[in-house]
Amino acid sequence: MKGLFKFIAKLLFKALYRVEVKGVEHYHAVDQNEQPLLIIANHVSSLDGPIIDLFIPGETSFMVDAGHTKKWYERFILSMTHYFKVDLQSPYAAKHMIKELKKGSQCMIFPEGRVTTTGSLMKVYDGTGLVADKTGAVVLPIHISGAVYSKFSYLDGSKFAYIKQFWFPKIILTIRPAEKMVNTAGLKGHKKHKVLTDQISRLLREGVYYGQVKKQSIFASLIETKSTFRAKEVCVEDINGQELSLKKLTLASIILGKQLKKVLKDETHVGLMLPNVVGMPASFFALQAYGYVPAMINFTAGISSIKSACDTAGLKSIITSKKFVEVFELQPLIESLKNEVRFIYLEDIKEKIGGGEKISGLLTCPKKLPGFRVDPEKSAVILFTSGSEGTPKGVVLSHQNINSNIAQIRSMITLLPGETILNALPIFHCFGLTAGMLWPILSGAKVYLYPSPIHYAIVPEMAYQKNVKLMFGTDTFYTGYARKAHPYDFYSMEGLIAGAERLRPETRRLYADKYYKPIFEGYGVTETTPVLSINTPLAYKDGSVGQFVPDIAYRLEPVDGIDEGGRLFVKGPNIMKGYLMPDNPGVLLPPKEGWHDTGDIVDVDEDGFIWIKGRAKRFAKIGGEMVSLTAVEAYINQASPEGHHVVVSVEDERKGERLVLVTDDPSLSRSTIIEAAKKRQLSELLIPKTTILVEKVPVLGTGKTNYPEVQKLAEQNFDSVK
């Protein structure tokens, strides 16, 4: 009877939920005669236990909380499997599981101890790691995806989060290789528990990544998102009130892409120069649909930098908008480049789209378009480095780079279908493109695009009006918003995410005190698509930039004169295909053996948190000692938190280099700086000898400090420069 019931139940699950099991070979690779097997999984719905029991080989023993055995249907379902009842709040609960494992049973625990009410991982209890450690069991991690969107999840709004649930979403079980627990010899008590629990947490987090990352093109990801979530739900909105659903975005990509193909013909790299409006994702996916590679043009970079970018990427055409050119007053740029590249205006393309073209688009199968079938390792987009340290380089990212980084972000941050992100960061910036536009759209969520991050009064108001859950910014932008925002503007936010430049402690403290909101600082570079690490509510250390996202290898190379940390090199699926260099246009320069040199000096602590010490180029050698310019800025920022301060170095005949402070704070005196340094017992070497007052410190369109311009200011005002 029991066997017949399970056979019928399995057939029903396969028919209704299209259950798929990936990585079953990892289960069979475990020799249970050598060691016990402990299965762990994320807990997203009431279906999780039955699905694992039906679709994972072998007879699994489940540890079930007594609170889940009171209803008749719970007892009926449990009667079809092997389980033992415990009180999960009791310190003796783990002993029952240890006993079962020592008997040789194949056991299963949900380390979170409850079904998620956020849609993502919740806290992990110490018991799971302790059980595996005590029994010598190998841990087999499984990730359950899809069930979180079902009617059997807890995301109906009655407990915490809310989504529009589905009756029968596709469910996938992804099994990862089994892993032994780390050696805890010499560790006791809380420290031992922490090490074991951190390992279980890491396995679950990696499971989210491996369970979601797929080898496919970006356009294929859009089509999959449309079929997975509600296609008629709005996925992008802009300041003009324009909206696109997943269905309309896909259709716009097909129709617009077909018209662009008639103009672009056999071109490969195509410039895309638009602000944060719905026309940007429509044009981006239109190019993707027909296999073109968009090159994102930074229209704030200046004529010479844009011309260099066009030459570097071998661009013949740039797609833009007449209205955009007029509003942003870009006519001089167009005039200076019109003999170098062809400008294609979306308004002109739109005029060619009539009823026939729209019907043709409706009848076109997106899966038959070139962009759907493209090799995911091929180039998907070209971005350009910020130019904060010199001439911008072209950074070529593949489809798999972007898909991998989106999956890495999902493993760290929760974003549910229907939730809204505010993105005012320019999409020509990697942070704005991957995290700010593609992540929400390809997650079934919604992004509200705002065209300028420096509208300090309007951006917070938009956050308030649109009830956003998350927003992105840099320290410079967050400081600006704090000057204008009402204390209630960020009421709906679960957190604010900072990147691209160092987040000052003063900014973090200001948002905690005034808005009661955390800022989660992350770290990344254009060459890593860009996210490498981020702080999260489950793993946070004040002042760090969080832990690495899954599937990243790193190494630290020593730097002369620097005792703590080293130069960071990283390797992983989100590392770029390579550079396009200004002095060698069109030739791809891949990272050596897959490793990218970030140029940053960092330290990684025993818990895996990353601490940025500064850029390798942002150290000065004074009197034979290495001095971090970032460290100098840090104590000056504490003395004058309202100002924007940048420290650079210039040549000095006597000591090799000299520190120069460039600031926009007229009240900051040398005596204040000296007093701040003394208060922190800092060496005199860390006190700038020269201060230059400016009306505004040069900043790039991305919000980063424009160091080449600051350096020029310093050199122009310092007599000893050669």
Burial 467-484 (b: 16+ CB within 10 A, else e): ebbbbbbbbbbbbbbbee
Calculate the alpha carbon distances from 152 to 46, 116, 169, 170, 602 in Å: 6, 11, 11, 13, 44
Calculate the alpha carbon distances from 146 to 62, 63, 172 in Å: 22, 23, 6
Sheet holding 690-693, edge to edge: 645-652, 656-663, 690-693
CA 656 to chain centre: 40
Q: Is 490 exposed, middle or buried (0-12, 13-18, 19+ CB in 10 A)?
A: buried
Taking the CA atoms of 387, 390, 391 and 392 in sequence, report the sign of the dihedral they define.
negative
End-to-end CA distance of the chain: 91
> Which residues are registered as beta bridge partners of 82?
61
What count of other Cβ atoms lies within 10 Å of the Cβ of residue 327? 11
Q: How far apart are CA 571 and CA 551, in angstroms?
A: 9
Q: Which H/E stretch holds residue 615?
A: strand 610-615
Q: Structure tokens of 193?
A: 């528990």
Decide if 43 is catalytic. Answer: yes
**In this structure, which amino acid lies at residue 319?**
I
Q: How far apart are CA 269 and CA 194, in angstroms?
A: 50
* Residues 280, 288 contacting (CB under 8 angstroms): no
Q: Which H/E stretch holds residue 396?
A: strand 394-398
Q: How far apart are CA 616 and CA 620, in angstroms?
A: 9
Apex CA 208: angle with CA 223 and CA 136, to 5°?
Answer: 150
Q: How far apart are CA 188 and CA 186, in angstroms?
A: 7
* Residues 693, 667 contacting (CB under 8 angstroms): no
Closest CA to 163 of 172, 171, 153, 173: 153
Closest CA to 648 of 618, 611, 608, 621: 618
Greatest CA separation for the chain? 93
For residue 232, the SS3 value is coil
Q: Which of 26, 43, 82, 455 is the catalytic position?
A: 43
Q: Structure tokens of 397?
A: 């990212």
Which residues lie closer than 8 Å to 290 by C-beta, 6 or more apart? Answer: 257, 258, 260, 261, 369, 370, 371
Alpha helix segments (H runs only) across 321-442: 322-327, 331-337, 346-351, 355-363, 370-373, 399-412, 430, 439-441
Q: Which letter does DSSP use for residue 611 in this model?
A: E
Q: How far apart are CA 588 and CA 609, in angstroms?
A: 33
Angle, helix 505-514 to helix 475-484, in steps of 10 degrees: 30
Q: How far apart are CA 226 and CA 443, in angstroms?
A: 10
Q: How far apart are CA 52 and CA 144, in angstroms?
A: 9
HEC-encoded secondary structure of 102-171: HCCCEEEECCCCCCCCCCCCCCCCCHHHHHHHHHCCEEEEEEEECHHHECCCCCECCCCCECCCECCCCC
Which residue is listed with tokens 């000296």? 674
Q: Structure tokens of 129?
A: 């790691």
Catalytic residues: 43
